[in-house]
Structure 1
């Protein structure tokens, strides 16, 4: 079935910057609060860092929710629709042909995914900063950063073949029910395994410890909170995401994302939140 023909969205759409870097096209763009698209598909895949605002839609039979601060992957050739939230949406959009994600090792059946931890936020923010800081960005740097995000996405996928269901349950606990992940013993009890077995097999599957994965998930969620524009204080974000104090949180955020929480908020807030229709 052919994709539904869409009305011209130009009145609701603005490109702030756009560059080609190897096979990647990197665009900073925004849509107005009134913008929506019916069912359609794209012939290229994409990675998006949601800078402000957000929206919802259906993608390959799954509901997607796109809050500010989240990094997302979308495959090519998948029918989807989308509606902007009340603030519109602004993204750093990295588009690429299908052969790029195949060569990077991304599973072709992976339809849409919010990258679950902070590993992708750092290079995505660096892409944003490089594009916005100069009229002539370093194209090799942009290409390398974009490829790094794809490789970060592909890493766990490459190791997924034959992965036990209980390992997936551990991952789901860390991503969706962090309140159950107070200790390795608690996690092991939920999945019916010995803590040392959980620790060993999780590292083999995901390339990092249970604790490190959980911390990156919390950092990723904290980035979404920072990008929301509704933060009363950095200390509040730190406590709400399981860090003992602001200094501890800021050090962890800088180590994994590449900038401090304050710098992150400045970088994702450098342009208006929405576009005038």
Structure 2
């Protein structure tokens, strides 16, 4: 049974620590030699940014022996034995993401469901985060939280880009069917039949390449369509918008929309109105009958 590490717990000595709601960031030096590192797992999702030293990782895309800079993302529950080959001069930064925070972000982004090495924008954001916290710990919580959110988004984008490159043509057809018909009551069998594969094969491939289930993608398509209708047709009733986007009723639509965007459909529509229009509406409400 691998050891389970709790919140912000890593194999190293903390040099600095900085916090933001839902995130814990730290700069550490390794303290456990390679032979002393056993298989373990973390209750939370986390990133490891190797700033100095030689690092061994089992994450997808990692070389046999990685040199800095290296950025690894490990989803919650990843069992691994990642370690420094040599403790001398090693420095790394960790970003622990609480499980509740990952759930909150799940409606907006789809993070990889496997350990992976990240490059490009994700690595640049992680280095900015390390630099922000390293400035004598003076970075405010909003700056840290914003960079952590940007790191999650860049991670989802990077994983999606790699998956998209390898997705077979039939899987793209299935995805397009969901997107085009998101307002109808689609069944898994219907989508699989359109792609010419078994539903189990469809679900497995969809998660591997797009980071979630067909149902996850359908939910995001419906929310995007609803937001577009609220922007474009300001006088259309909410019940009509709910029906056009495939929701069972207006209550179900309102609940899903508020959970994703933080605003009810009515408040979202109101926030999009020009200020003059909002004032006119409020003035009319103040006038006596």
Question: What is the TM-score normalised by the length of structure 2?
Answer: 0.47
Question: What is the TM-score normalised by the length of structure 1?
Answer: 0.49
Higher strand share: 1
RCO comparison, higher one (Cα < 8 Å, 6+)? 1
Quick check: which has more Rg, 1 or 2?
A: 2
